[in-house]
Amino acid sequence: MSKTLGLGLAGFGTVGTGVWETLQRNAELISDRSEVRVDIKRIAVRDMSKSRPEGAPTELFTTDWQEVVADDSVDIVVELIGGTTTAFDIVAAALKAKKPVVTGNKALLAERGQELFALSHEMNTPIHFEAAVAGGIPIIKTVQDSFVGNRIQSMVGIINGTSNYILERMTDAGLGYEEALTEAQQLGYAEADPTLDVNGWDAAHKAILLATLAYGFIIDPEKVYVRGIERVRGIDIDFAKRLGFVVKLLCVVHEHPDGTIELRTQPSFIPQSHVLSSVNGVFNAVAVRGDAAGESLFYGRGAGKDPTASSVVADIVEAARGEAHDGSHRGFLPYQDSGHVMAIEDTETPYYVRFDVTDETGVIAKIAAVLADAGIGIAGTHSPVNAEEPDADFVDMVFQLHTCKFGLLKETLKKIEALNCVNSRPVVFRIESLG
């Protein structure tokens, strides 16, 4: 027979209502499959006057989240309010009350996970967070459980749907960045304040969580290199097409032979032939390589009410099983005291570099001489001058560079930027082989 456990929800916005609707719609199915039944007992919201979906249990609502945690009928606390302040207080209070926590809050865990995981260990009470990464894709359970016998060699992914949609529209429709962002906001794919999506940090928080799971130590966000899509322009999109690439906001997690972890998020050129190049719209994908399993690809909707609610409900059931049957999954705990994140200056890839230059004789030779002095090889040079319009204004010059350390490239570009023929700061994209 199924055992019934009570849920307390902190937050009843888009995802919270999705969780409630999923539990109502599939209650019997969940009970039959898991031998547990979960009922919502209390719901904390900021505004009691806000309209709710028809049938939502308004008698369970409160504006005091402490009432939710303290309620004796609540066995599991679900944090869905976002942010890192009140959300931290809710999760910490629930753990201290020995009530398992389910959250989709990647920023909270990436920035304050060390405190919360320590408290989880102290109280022997789990935190479940499948919904924190890639919406409805079960990537957390996959890395934590299905790959438990593998050394994770790399994880490469597109895990922010907003930026992916913007880049797709810039690529396929020829929209400018601002125009594509406005369209994404109008369609509800981007928030009124899209900062965390477009500056790369939403994706970076998710990558930090994946790396923490894969390598077992808490990662300081300040050691992670993050760049967003704000400086991507149509000229770069066009050059990528001409050269056989697509521009994507890419998260790269890679373990090197010496045990250091490369962890970075930035717009990158990826080959049109690679499967990740066809991940479009608000979809997400993560390619995971294990030493035993080889490469596996996980693809699906990375955001939205129902996909995210699906992951939250899966964690709720996992937590309920643990409470009802004892000894089930106890959540993630760090298993390494420390690890080393590679300095971004030591990472190596080929590069695309675009220079805003003056149209004068010898520009290529001057730039090439500085690169040669630094020992950086040139794979090719390109100009956007249209052969069919020879009188058109000269715009920029692009260099494709061979693999070198990023630190060396930065120092060399400072010297090139100082040349009289270079008018502004060079634009750099990594070229990822993804082999």
Q: Is 399 helix (H, G, I), strand (E, B) or coil?
A: strand
Amino acid identity for residue 247 in this structure: V
> Which string of DSSP letters, residue by residue, matches 146-214?
ITTTS-EEEEEEE--HHHHHHHHHHHHS---HHHHHHHHHHTTSS-SS-HHHHTSHHHHHHHHHHHHHH
CA angle 12, 13, 16 (to 5 degrees): 50
| Close Cβ partners of 6 (under 8 Å, ≥ 6 residues apart) | 38, 39, 40, 41, 71, 73, 74, 75, 76
Q: Are 205 and 104 in contact (CB under 8 A)?
A: no
* 393 DSSP 8-state letter: P
- Does residue 414 carry a catalytic annotation? no
For residues 151, 212, 75, 137, the Cα torsion angle rounded to the nearest 10 degrees is: -70
Q: How far is CA 197 from CA 194, 379, 432, in A?
A: 5, 33, 21
List the catalytic residue out of 206, 248, 305, 366.
206
Q: How far is CA 284 from CA 203, 276, 327, 425, in A?
A: 10, 9, 33, 32
Separate counts of helices (H) and strands (E) for the chain: 14, 16
Give the residue numbers annotated as catalytic, written as ranges. Answer: 206
